[in-house]
Amino acid sequence: MARSYKILALIGDGIAEEIVTEAIKILRTSEETFGFNLEIIGPYPFGAKYWFDSGRKTAWHPEITRDLIYEADGIFKGPVGLPGSLEDVKLNYEVGFLPVALRSDLDCYANIRPCRLREGVKGVLAGKKPGDIDFVIIRENTEQCLAEATHFGGISDISGYFKRAGKIELAADVFIQTTKGCERVIKYAFELARKRRGAPIDGKKRVTCACKWGILRGDSLFKRTFDEVAKSYPDVEADSAWIDGWTYWAVMRPEFYNVVVTPNQYGDIISDLSGALQGSMGLAAALNAGDQHAFAEATHGSAPDIARKNIANPTSIILSMGLLLNWIGEKHDDSRLKSAGAVIDKAVDVLLSEGKVKTPDLGGSNNTKQVGDAIAEKIKELYIKNKA
Ligand code: ATP
């Protein structure tokens, strides 16, 4: 009997319920179209709402066990967090509900965040057209600002609070970077650059190291490691920029960038910038990938301002499904999943370039479900067209 792939689906907060429904629709469509089998487990709720609804006892549905998390061939989740939840010290530092725990626990050390201005999307930078912006951020995902902020893994008892009479008077966060942690994510970036088209400006395969070396010790280690790893990739140009300078150049000259590798917190921040550069956070996909495990999520948060209005753009999580299927396909050398990953991306391109079905963030008036349905249709059409 053909192997089936186990996918664990987790919901989250805010717009999560609306967009996770569409993600599942796309997985089902891909399965039917490309002839593989998925065992989708869930979707189970977790997150801030679940925490408050449980009377501040648990943030995770009991079916989400560690065994399940480890057994799954892939995981995906909707965004998590609600206003007020980040101030809940018990939730954040004892119970844990943020995906950062999964990132460390599953050792998903590379957070892959593509940024491409697609045909049919109005860019925010004057004079930049589709094709001018096409880079991928590779964010280190288990160290630096998040070395300790983990529920299952990480280093305990380094950062913390100093309390006097029960009142927090001092807070300390310790950032840690290791040679191994830097090396593997930097190699990941160079390997990716080898597979990708070069930068839009000159077609060169290029990896840019963005951090603040020479000032912060951890970032100096990151840069030193980058310079060392780069020697093994003479076919890829090694470029570097201080992270503050990078944000300037990403706006002024985005076409120069191809693959950008950066320590954790900078990656978090510049990912929102790259969301804007692609025209909407609703298009910003992400995959947390390691050697053994991967989980997909959109780059954006739970967007409570638009939750329950059925206007959230599901494209970000749908593109993340494409990245996940491709990762599983590569791991198991299964061309059906790799093709599904590529066709999901292409289906989004076709839909956006037609410009008929789009949510309000892109200037349209369609709802979340209509966009999910339209992408599913495009996947089927492209499959038939490719076969003909
Ligand atoms: P976080 O701080 O956890 O990243 P957030 O909800 O405060 O989460 P983002 O999710 O980064 O912030 O999004 C910023 C804004 O972008 C949202 O308030 C929302 O208006 C818009 N946005 C985010 N995701 C989508 C989406 N999928 N579709 C449409 N608009 C979105």
Q: Quote the CA–CA distance of 136 and 321 in Å, as a whole number.
A: 17
CA of 334 to the centre of ligand 1 (A): 34
Query: What local confidence, expressed as pLDDT, does residue 151 receive?
Result: 42
Opening angle at CA 339, ends 64 and 191, nearest 5: 80
113 in a structural domain: no
The answer on 104 and 128 residing in a single domain is: no
- Taking CA atoms only, the protein residue closest to ligand 1 atom 12 is 301
The answer on 151 and 85 residing in a single domain is: no
196 in a structural domain: yes
Ligand 1: which of 97, 269, 299, 300 to mutate, judged by most atoms within 8 Å of the beta carbon? 300
The answer on 192 and 162 residing in a single domain is: yes
SS3 259: strand
165 in a structural domain: yes
Q: Quote the CA–CA distance of 264 and 144 in Å, as a whole number.
A: 6
The answer to whether 19 touches 368, Cβ cutoff 8 Å, is: yes
Per-residue pLDDT tens digits of the chain, which is 388 residues long: 578 999 999 999 999 999 999 999 999 999 999 999 999 999 999 989 998 898 888 888 888 888 899 999 999 999 998 887 777 777 766 656 555 567 778 889 999 999 999 999 999 999 999 999 999 999 999 888 766 554 444 555 667 778 899 898 988 877 889 999 999 999 999 999 999 999 999 999 999 999 999 999 999 999 999 999 999 999 999 999 999 999 999 999 999 999 999 999 999 999 999 999 999 999 999 999 999 999 999 999 999 999 999 999 999 999 999 999 999 999 999 999 999 999 999 999 999 999 999 999 999 999 999 999 999 999 999 988 888 7
- Taking CA atoms only, the protein residue closest to ligand 1 atom 31 is 282
What is the distance in angstroms between the CA of the first residue and the CA of the last residue of the chain? Answer: 28
- Taking CA atoms only, the protein residue closest to ligand 1 atom 8 is 301
Query: What local confidence, expressed as pLDDT, does residue 113 receive?
Result: 97
Ligand 1 binding pocket, CB closer than 6 Å: 15, 81, 272, 281-282, 300-303, 305-306, 312-313, 316, 361
**Number of domains the chain is built from:** 2
Closest atom of ligand 1 to CA, residue 15: 27
State the amino acid at position 294 in one-letter form: A
Query: What local confidence, expressed as pLDDT, does residue 100 receive?
Result: 54
Domain span including residue 189: 124-277
The answer on 296 and 243 residing in a single domain is: no
Boundary-marking domain end, from 243, 277, 311: 277
CA of 243 to the centre of ligand 1 (A): 23
The answer on 326 and 272 residing in a single domain is: no
Closest atom of ligand 1 to CA, residue 317: 27
Boundary-marking domain end, from 229, 254, 277: 277
The answer on 157 and 55 residing in a single domain is: no
The answer on 243 and 190 residing in a single domain is: yes
Q: Is the dihedral of CA 178, 180, 186, 192 positive or negative?
A: negative
- Taking CA atoms only, the protein residue closest to ligand 1 atom 20 is 303
CA of 301 to the centre of ligand 1 (A): 5
Q: Quote the CA–CA distance of 49 and 61 in Å, as a whole number.
A: 11
- Taking CA atoms only, the protein residue closest to ligand 1 atom 6 is 303
Q: What is the CATH number of the domain that holds 24?
A: 3.40.718.10
- Taking CA atoms only, the protein residue closest to ligand 1 atom 14 is 303
Boundary-marking domain end, from 234, 249, 277: 277
State the amino acid at position 208 in one-letter form: T
283 in a structural domain: no
Query: What local confidence, expressed as pLDDT, does residue 104 receive?
Result: 78
The answer on 94 and 30 residing in a single domain is: yes
Q: Quote the CA–CA distance of 315 and 124 in Å, as a whole number.
A: 18
Query: What local confidence, expressed as pLDDT, does residue 146 receive?
Result: 67
- Between 368-387 and 16-34, two packed helices, what is the crossing angle to 10 degrees? 20
HEC string of 47-67? Answer: CHHHHHHCCCCCCECCCCCHH
Closest atom of ligand 1 to CA, residue 80: 3
Q: Quote the CA–CA distance of 124 and 129 in Å, as a whole number.
A: 10
The answer on 296 and 215 residing in a single domain is: no
Closest atom of ligand 1 to CA, residue 312: 28
Q: Is the dihedral of CA 27, 272, 111, 234 positive or negative?
A: positive
- HSE-up of residue 174 (Cα within 13 Å, Cβ side): 10
386 in a structural domain: yes
213 in a structural domain: yes
114 in a structural domain: no
The answer on 341 and 224 residing in a single domain is: no
The answer on 55 and 149 residing in a single domain is: no
Q: Which residues pair with 161 in a beta bridge?
A: 171
Nearest to 84 by CA among 328, 304, 250: 304
- Taking CA atoms only, the protein residue closest to ligand 1 atom 26 is 282
- Taking CA atoms only, the protein residue closest to ligand 1 atom 2 is 301
CA of 281 to the centre of ligand 1 (A): 6
232 in a structural domain: yes
The answer to whether 219 touches 213, Cβ cutoff 8 Å, is: yes
CA of 272 to the centre of ligand 1 (A): 9
In which region does residue 265 sit, left (phi positive, over 0), alpha (psi from -120 to 50) or beta (all else)? alpha
Phi, psi angle pair for 13, to nearest 5° = -120, 175
The answer on 79 and 135 residing in a single domain is: no
DSSP 204: -
